[in-house]
Chain A
Amino acid sequence: MTTAFWIISAVTLLGAVLAVTLRNLVHCVLALILFFLGIAGHYFLLRADFLGVVQILIYIGAVAVLILFAIMLTRNVTGTEGPREVFGLKWWSGAATAAIIGALVLAAIRRDELSKLPTSTQANSSVLEIGKLLVTDWVVPFEAMAVLLTAALIGAVVIALEEVLRRR
């Protein structure tokens, strides 16, 4: 378990780091996909099977593809290659800020007792259970989620489509 953890963590970290540092946009997205995979792996490790599958389906299957589409549509100016990153004030101040936050959070984690909890071997969550919950206790958020997604769909279409119509 521990080995699996370390390997998957390494993969995840690698993917994340690559995603924010690579110059080529498509490479960034591919690294992102790697990252998503790593996260999915962690979910499986944590015995949240359904969630892992959902992660792969949605994030890799939909979000990453969406990002790729966006990159394609905005390609004319930037190309797949982004310009050289300038390591100026903005870069350092941004990095410093993030580092500060990270350090603080890590320090907080270290201090807390809760962190010492060990792994458990409880049974997995079954998909049947989750399904039942969705239509009984959680039916309202479920439906609300449906509405939200519909709204997002329509909104995205409206925002992205407008120019096209006008150009005609």
Chain B
Amino acid sequence: MTPLTCAECRERLPEYGAGSLADHQSIKRHLGDCAECRREAALWREVSSAFAAEDTSIPPDTSAAATWTTVRARVHAPGQVRAESGRMTLTRSSKLDHIGAPVAGDTSPVRGEERPAPRWRSYAAVAAVLLIALLSAAIFGVMNGHGRATMVTAPKTCAPSQMKATLPAYASVASISMVSATDGWAVGEVYDHQQDAIPPQTLLLRFQNCAWTPTGDTIPTAQLYKVAMVSATEGWAVGATTKRQAISEDLNGHFIYDWEADQPFLLHYSGGQWRRVELPGVQRVIGVLALRMVSADEGWLLLDHGGVHTDPYTKAYSYTLLHYQHGAWTPVPLSFKEPTTILWDLVATAPNDCWIVGYGTALSDGGGLIAHYSGGDWQEWNGTIGGVRTYTYYTVAMTSTHDVWAVGNPMLHFDGKTWTSAGAPALSQPGGSDLMSATMISPTEGWAFFSPGPLPNRSNELPVLHFTDGEWQEQRITVVSPVHIESLSNLSMASPTQGWAIGAISIPTSYGAAVRGVLVYYDNGAWAVPPGQAG
């Protein structure tokens, strides 16, 4: 055997010092002859010991049993799907009754034992402040023709191969709203994760003539979350200003900053112009969950203020629901909500009618949550709904008030009178993912998409659920893309067979991976990322 050089030896000394090197005879021989490498071997042994000493400062493990109980409950939750021989199979467990531990939200840690008494804050004072007349404070931008519906004549029909996107570098799309096969809007942000001193700015894209292009109108130090068009001439978008916050440190030990949401604001598209509309009195948000317009005169906005610990094991989450009517956004009390309830999505298609889904996180209110607002009153379902034990709901989709899908674990359908899981098989959650986004194209067809899996996707194949022939079926779709797509979301249909969705791609940053949204074209079952989004 050829003796090792010092360089070869030193390369393996860290493993040798940790005692994990399987073939260490050649190292030992070299150390016998080389005092310099022996000193370095001592260093690596000390490093190993120093880490071991550091680990002793970690508090004693007292949660092993409690966490195992929750793991056990989660793996037995109905609708869990397990990978088997390269394909996903549906399982429906009946063991839950034997577990002895109620199951709370799917992703939350240890739960509190008692549900706090309802103490959702009174909205009276907030309402006084939030009776928001439309404050068309500033003209956000003039669309120079491409924003004017009256200018769109003889729209060009596009073949899939003609689709393209001319996006600025570091653009990330967050939401899409198609008006027709030839007209649509998308919003998001432009932000370079490697240049964290430079704030994000809003991204506003228009789809016309087979191409997505930025309008040129931006708001600095802000990002847009959602867009909801009512027609070619009327629509809304919602965003938030951002503020810089230290989140980690870089390779040299310097702080890394990120820009987090702060004050929300709206953009109103009318008369061919986007105008900024402030939301005075609304507290800081950490995100926007939903913006849904029913008509030019009515819409809903659900804002997320995040959670705060009320004790080491319990968090209270707060949200603001705004209802647009009579030209003003006014708050609607979420009277059904417990402090520990997490809300995720809202959908609305009819006047004075909306649906919200989420789940409880306390042991006493654990399980899926569905709330229906109708004419000023809330009706709530949670836990066991329609005879089915529910767990988590992250999204809701509907085509009418007689066709509502609570999408999650398990999938439930509302026919206008009752919730039922009949005809909706248990849904898969491959790799620990959850169903996070769904779009019903019609009462007979819909798509549901999972969150990214536990590991980076190494192919352009994605598991999805497709509602067709009266049932949800698992499919693996291929996204034609130059980059790996981690997940899909936010499918907005432009016609019965064509639409646009957002694909999440993972981009490396100095602190790990971040997600960026790209535009994905959907054409009758085929999915593709059009060129022009490489930045």
| A and B part of one assembly | no
Q: Which residues of B contact A (CB under 8 A)?
A: none
